[in-house]
Amino acid sequence: MTVPTAGSHPELLNNLIRDCGLPLHNIIVITTKESVALPEGVIEVPDLDPPNIQRWWNKGIEEAIKKGATTVAVLNDDIRVSPETLPALALALAETGATIASPSRPPSKDKKYTRPLAPYEPRIWGCLWVLDATTTLRANEKYVWWYGDCDLDIRARRDFGGVVNVNVDYEHLHSGEGTAKSAALQEQSDQDAITYQIDYARLITMTRLMNQAKKFLRITK
């Protein structure tokens, strides 16, 4: 498991480390500020360069691979999980051959997603996903703060083994809080949105047209 943190929620990070079910030597924490207090026994990898959450994800994944990992869970530091959460996601990877596993979105159900992509609907939660690290799929670091999970989702379904959603026990306790408090991160998120719209212009257009067609059919029935 790898978790980037600036130390903003130390009690939640400690609870996550306690409850994830993994031994401390299998937990890699990417510290993005100086003097972040961590439980003794976890692996700390400092990264004090300008914020880029995709780079933090990749750095944790690569460090896990160096330690022999073939499956890596990537989590925010403000996630609540149970000891069954990560094993259930890892098992779904093994059973389905998917490249990424992530919690299901409402209505909650277990399902694997590959092609077709349109009409596009994201299936990865950036706050909690598990990667088959034996593949070459990695986060795209040109997405600095936002839309990197959508890019991973699309490429996993288009170019790799797909995404499997699993109904697991978890809770994201401070979703979007850090971005809302930072004008710089909000500006970066806007720039990432432009990058995403350029990269996936055709998919976005197809999705809009297909959704409009569905709406028209519903109205005319």
Q: Residue 217 — very low, low, confident or very high, per pLDDT cuts 50/70/90?
A: low
Helix H or strand E segment including 75: strand 71-75
Q: What is the pLDDT of residue 138?
A: 98
**For 45-87, what is each residue's pLDDT tens digit?**
999 999 999 999 999 999 999 999 999 999 999 999 999 999 9
pLDDT value at position 176?
85
Whether 114 shows a pLDDT value over 90: the answer reads yes
In this predicted structure, the answer to whether residue 149 has a pLDDT above a threshold of 80 is: yes
220 pLDDT higher than 70? no
Give the single-character DSSP code of 125: B
Residue 184's contacts (CB-CB under 8 Å, 6 or more residues apart) are none
The pair of structure tokens assigned to 91 is: 């098992």
Model confidence at 183: pLDDT above 80: yes
Average predicted confidence (pLDDT) for the chain: 95
Torsion of CA 163, 91, 127, 123, to 10 degrees: 20
How much of the chain exceeds pLDDT 70, in percent? Answer: 97
pLDDT (average), residues 34-43: 95
What pTM was estimated for this model as a whole?
A: 0.94
Buried b (16+ CB within 10 A) or exposed e, 52-82: bbbbbbbbbbbbbeeeebebbbbbbbbbebe
pLDDT at 215 over 90: no
Least confident range of 54-63, 169-178, 203-212: 169-178
Dist. CA 137–CA 155, nearest whole Å: 8
pLDDT at 213: 87
| Mean pLDDT for the stretch of residues 119-139 | 97
pLDDT at 221 over 70: no
**Do 65 and 137 touch, CB atoms closer than 8 A?**
no
